[in-house]
Amino acid sequence: MKFIDEVTLLCSSGHGGAGCVAFRREKFIPFGGPNGGDGGRGGDLIFEATKTLSTLLELRHKQHQKADRGRHGMGKDRHGAAGEDLVVKVPVGTLIKDFETGEVLADLTEDGQRIILLKGGRGGQGNARFATATNKAPKFAQPGEEGEERKLRLELKLMADVGLLGLPNAGKSSLITKVSAARPKIADYPFTTLAPSLGVVGYKNFRSFVMADIPGIIEGAHEGAGLGHRFLKHLERSGILVHLVDISGLPDSDPYAAFEAINRELAMFSEELDKKGQIVALTKMDLPAAQEHLAEAQAWFQERKIPVYPISSITGEGVEALLDAIAERLWSAPKEEW
């Protein structure tokens, strides 16, 4: 399935039905009086979060969302039916913004959460409502109130406890494949992952947490380099970031400079993302080149007081210790100690 995480919609609630101008006309009943019914209210436009959806793909092809209008009032005191509400289902984690101003209107973070974003117009009153002692035959009624219309921008931010980040080909997809049932594409070339993926990691004592894998980030992503940094928003809701660093390319490549460059990209994208706690995983420990530079890498990160865990997603070496550290951060340690 194609992963769509942004979509623009033109939304409108239903117009209210018009009130009716009518008079009672029956045999042997002269001057029967007004009996025009009221118009029905217009339908509301409602957004509902559901965990059965994982992308905004369906809305990409339905960019006009309009609720049902209220029916007009009729004679014999018959009121118009109310318009049917339109419920637009979106994935959990969807942010709804005003397209023009960028104002955040709703953040749907729980399954089943609903919000009435556009209220339907009120129905107009029929002429029966306006009969008085001095005006027993009013020849007017109210028109229905118009519904609201708004252009909206929907952004999906994946709901995950743990976010994986690193350079392309650092081993993110291999790790999420090792610890969960997620099966992203894995290959020995950069930018294999083109869309974020989620995996549920089963932990001890029947506990579990959600891990998110996003496409690799490179220096200059904020200027559009590589795949840009549009996928970084999927890490903003993560409680912990696991930064994967591949040291098997030393001394030809500089993983330390790349580590600092990616952190600069985080800071440029979001101050909140920059402040998140990080755990570093040194990947590909099944390769001799990685083993050779392990002590040097551990010393570099420990100097900066960054917890580091050497792992191999192929052999499973160190993976359990990494999951233990993640679990401790998620369920034990207060955030100020991260």
Feature table: binding site for GTP: 166-173, 191-195, 213-216, 283-286, 312-314
Strand 104-108 to strand 94-98: parallel, antiparallel, or no bridges (unpaired)? antiparallel
Q: Rounded to 5, what percent of the chain is helix, strand, coil?
A: 25, 25, 50
208-213 β-sheet, strand order: 197-202, 208-213, 162-166, 240-246, 278-283, 308-310
Question: Residue 134: is it exposed, middle or buried by C-beta count within 10 angstroms (0-12/13-18/19+)?
Answer: exposed
Token reading at 150: 């708004």
Output the known binding site. Answer: 166-173, 191-195, 213-216, 283-286, 312-314
Q: Is the dihedral of CA 212, 218, 221, 225 positive or negative?
A: negative
Which string of DSSP letters, residue by residue, matches 173-225? Answer: HHHHHHHSS------SSS----S-EEEEEE-GGG-EEEEEE-----TTGGGT-
Question: In this structure, are strands 240-246 and 94-98 parallel, antiparallel, or unpaired?
Answer: unpaired
Label the pairing between strands 308-310 and 278-283. parallel
Q: In the chain, what's the furthest Cα-to-Cα distance? A: 107
Contacts of 27 (CB under 8 A, 6+ apart): none
CA 65 → CA 61, 96, 101, 103, 320, distances in Å?
11, 14, 20, 20, 48
Q: How many CB atoms lie within 10 A of CB 294?
A: 14
Distance CA 246, CA 329 (A): 23
Q: Which amino acid is at 233?
A: K
Residues 176 and 154 sit within 8 Å (Cβ to Cβ): no
Please give the annotated binding residues for Mg(2+), written as ranges.
Answer: 173, 193
- Measured in whole angstroms, the distance separating CA 225 from the mean position of its chain's CA atoms is 24
Q: Is 274 helix (H, G, I), strand (E, B) or coil?
A: helix
